[in-house]
Amino acid sequence: MSRPALELHNVSYAFEPDGVPAVQGVTLTVERGEWVALVGASGSGKSALAQLISGYLPRTGGGNRTGRVLVDGVDPAEAEIGEVARRIGVVFQDPDAQLVQGRVEDEVAFGPENLRVPAAELERRVTDALAAVAMTPRRLTPVHALSGGGRQRTAIAAVLALEPPLLVLDEAAASLDAASRRRLLALLRRLHGEGRTIVTMSGRMDELALAAPRLVVLDAGTVTLDGPAEPLRRDASARLEELGMLPAEPSAAAACPGSSGGGPAGPAALAPAAGPASAATHAPLLEARGLSYAFARGTELVLRDVRLTLYPGDWRLLCGDNGSGKTTLSRLLMGLLPPPKGTVFWQGRDTARRTLYDRASEIGYVFQQPEQQFVASTVWDELFYSPRAELRLRPQDPVPKELRQRAERMLEAIGLAGKTGESPYWLSGGEKRLLSAASVMICPKRLYILDEPTAGIDYGGVRLLTNLCREALGEGAALIMITHEPELFEGEPVKHWRMAEGLLRDEELSWSKRS
């Protein structure tokens, strides 16, 4: 009888010696050739398990692990790195955390080269892996020039090129467009049919979770459900909904962070430059007039003749395939990339003549990868970093009472009230996204731009994020949200822009009108 592909015996893990365990007493066996979907809400321990299985924790990331982890009979925290790489390939939730090379093909070749795969075999692996994720045309592209979805596909290809017998994917579909998700699902089905062992990790019952024959549900770091997927999905639907794995039935809107005590609170010094929008307000807040853009002179245009108008109180979803130009457009609108003169206008003024600092006082930007904007060592300090800077408070200065109350309500609203002293980097992927949104929205702005804020978070997290957005609209702000999942905002007062190959189309029909 062959040994299992993966064994966990009473495994617990905490990032700090006295910290709350991220994983508690997990016992799990995955046989060779199995496909197991591991699902759990934000903070349930999925990513920590992925890093324990890979050996990153505690070998490199530190912390304290108890219990036994075996991958094909060896402990990944103690075995030689090459031995682990021959047994398991892990695609982490954040692709930037595992991309190390300059060009796409170099990234995909990096692992097999380090395992001394012969040149002819190496070329075959790289070619096959790139084809499997439809990245062959981008083979020579610098990784940093790819979209978030392109970097995710590159990370998947880099793991495929290792040809590991056990493949673990932690929210690997979170940044992918619909076509790429379908392609990944077909690839996993093929690999499973060929006998590969697969473990997928998801924050909700997505395509990958629905496809797996076996379902394991995590809650607060422990296994709460484990069994054949179809009976579990059918008989435990109420429990899955309660845990945020399935969408809840429509109900009255939850209270917004600033809704208690007679409306949003916040010091006058942090108020928007103008009050909430009214029916009589017709002046555009933001305009793009014939915006075309290329990253370097003589290179292909990323955006072509983009024209848009945004008014106070508008909520727009910016949709489109990976690489269509969504993030580039958002960064030009914000000023993170310099727009050509005469193309982007804020309240009628050409933004090319304004500094990024000026625009940041009125526009808040939430990055696709939350870690890119974290600057503090605790959740509490992260939330207060921007208001302290705007109010020019010194470290020893007390936080104004109204601002503290607003922060406390926001932390309660996003489920982080009990984690104020923890490092933002130790939070789950979904918690990081909610914190990054709250850290921007704590200082009222005229416009918020959110880049893929729902990627990989559970349905409960989507509801919390939606509450933040409702409050912002109530304060008179406008919202632009880049997303591959517009269906998550069905029933909200949203309208669509759709990008395709650098062109923008205005889709007037809102989700609320379709239903």
What phi, psi does 8 have (nearest 5°)?
Answer: -125, 125
Are the C-beta atoms of residues 292 and 303 closer than 8 Å to each other?
yes
Backbone angles phi, psi at 29, to 5 degrees: -125, 130
Q: Which of 24-33, 267-276, 373-382 is least confident?
A: 267-276
In this predicted model, which residue has the larger pLDDT, 174 or 73? Answer: 73
Band the pLDDT of 296: cuts 50, 70, 90: confident
Lowest-pLDDT range of 329-338, 351-360, 412-421 = 351-360
Q: Is 464 helix (H, G, I), strand (E, B) or coil?
A: helix
Q: How confident is the model at residue 281 (pLDDT cuts 50, 70, 90)?
A: low
The arithmetic mean of pLDDT across residues 55-65, rounded, is 92
The pLDDT score that the predictor gives to residue 16 is 87
Task: Calculate mean pLDDT across residues 103-127.
Answer: 96
Omega before 58 within 30 of 0, i.e. cis: yes
Task: Check residue 298 and give its pLDDT.
Answer: 84
The number of C-alpha atoms within 13 Å of 122 and in the hemisphere containing its C-beta is: 15
Residue indicated by tokens 């923890």: 422
Is 202 strand, coil or helix? strand
Percent of the chain with pLDDT over 90: 78
User: Lowest-confidence range among 231-235, 254-258, 304-308?
Assistant: 254-258
pLDDT at 437 over 80: yes
**In 290-445, alpha helices (H):** 326-334, 356-360, 379-391, 401-413, 429-441
User: Going by C-beta distance under 8 Å and a sequence separation of 6 or more, which residues neighbour residue 171?
Assistant: 46, 47, 93, 201, 202, 203, 429, 455, 456
Look at residues 263, 286, 255, 259 and name the one whose alpha carbon lies nearest to residue 477: 286
- The average pLDDT across 97-120 equals 93
Q: List the beta bridge partners of residue 291.
A: 306
Cα 512 versus chain centre, distance? 25
Q: What is the mean pLDDT of residues 438-443?
A: 95
Residue 268 has pLDDT above 50, yes or no: no
Domains 6-242 and 281-514 share a fold: yes
Distance CA 215, CA 218 (A): 10
- How high is the pLDDT of residue 508? 57
Percent of residues, the chain, with pLDDT higher than 70: 92
Which one is predicted more confidently, 276 or 391? 391
Q: For residue range 138-153, list pLDDT tens digits in order.
A: 999 999 889 989 999 9
CA gyration radius, the chain: 23
**Average pLDDT estimate for 245-262:** 53
Domain ranges of the chain: 6-242, 281-514
Closest by CA to 133, choosing from 113, 110, 109, 158, is 158
pLDDT at 515 over 50: no
Please return the burial class of 121, using the count of CB atoms within 10 Å of its CB with bins 0-12, 13-18 and 19+.
exposed
Q: Which tokens hold the place of 146?
A: 């790819």
Q: What is the mean pLDDT of residues 105-126?
A: 96
Contact 317, 481 (CB under 8 A): yes
Angstrom CA distances, 336 to 29, 318, 333, 339, 500, stand at 47, 18, 8, 9, 22
| Whole-number pLDDT of residue 13 | 97
Report how many helices (DSSP H) and strands (DSSP E) the chain contains, helices first.
17, 19
Q: Mean pLDDT in the chain?
A: 90
Mean pLDDT confidence for 223-229: 96
Report the relative pairing of strands 286-293 and 344-346 from DSSP bridges.
antiparallel
Structural fold of domain 281-514? Rossmann fold (3.40.50)
Identify the CATH homologous superfamily for domain 6-242.
Answer: P-loop containing nucleotide triphosphate hydrolases (3.40.50.300)
Is the CA virtual torsion 290, 295, 298, 301 positive or negative?
A: negative
Transcribe 34-52 into DSSP letters. Answer: -EEEEEE-TTSSHHHHHHH
Q: Alpha-carbon distance 472 to 445, whole Å? A: 8
Model confidence over 192-202: pLDDT tens digits?
999 999 999 99
> What pLDDT is stored for residue 96 in this prediction?
86
Q: Element (H or E) spanning 460, and its range?
A: helix 459-474
